[in-house]
Each structure stands twice: as C-alpha cells, then as structure tokens.
Amino acid sequence: MTWWKCSECGYTFEADAPPERCPSCNEACTFTDVTCYIPECGGEVGGHPDERL
C-alpha cells in the first residue's frame, strides 16, 4: 500500500489510493505520496512513510 499525506492538515495514512476527502479534517484536499522508496529513509523500502516529505 501507499502512504498519503494531506496537504491541508498533514494527516498521514496508508491506503491503496487517496480518498476524495481527508479522513482527519474532512476537506477535499490534495494528497501527496510520501511512501519510503529508498533505503536512506530507514527501514524496509515501501513499509512506512518518509518523514522527510
């Protein structure tokens, strides 16, 4: 699955695709893919969000 971050409130969650509305602030936000894709962000690649994003 992919980690998504809300552009409005910064809420980060894991889902196959971003929803129409943020589960936290309930706004129609833009979601950024913040999944860890490189070893430099620590741990298993793809297993968690990249805290640098």
* Residues 4-22 pLDDT 10s: 999 999 999 999 999 999 9
Which range of residues forms the domain containing residue 18? 2-41
Residue 48 belongs to a domain = no
Residue 24 belongs to a domain = yes
Which pLDDT score, from 0 to 100, does residue 45 have? 63
pLDDT at 48 over 80: no
Residue 17 belongs to a domain = yes
**CA dist., res. 40 & res. 26, Å (int):** 33
Residue 46 belongs to a domain = no
Residue 6 belongs to a domain = yes
Question: What global pTM score does this model have?
Answer: 0.81
Residue 23 belongs to a domain = yes
- Nearest Cα neighbor of 19 from 35, 36, 2, 37 is 2
How many domains does the structure of the chain reveal?
Answer: 1
Residue 53 belongs to a domain = no
Which pLDDT score, from 0 to 100, does residue 29 have? 92
Residue 51 belongs to a domain = no
**CA dist., res. 38 & res. 43, Å (int):** 9
**CA dist., res. 29 & res. 17, Å (int):** 13
Q: Quick one: DSSP state of residue 49?
A: B
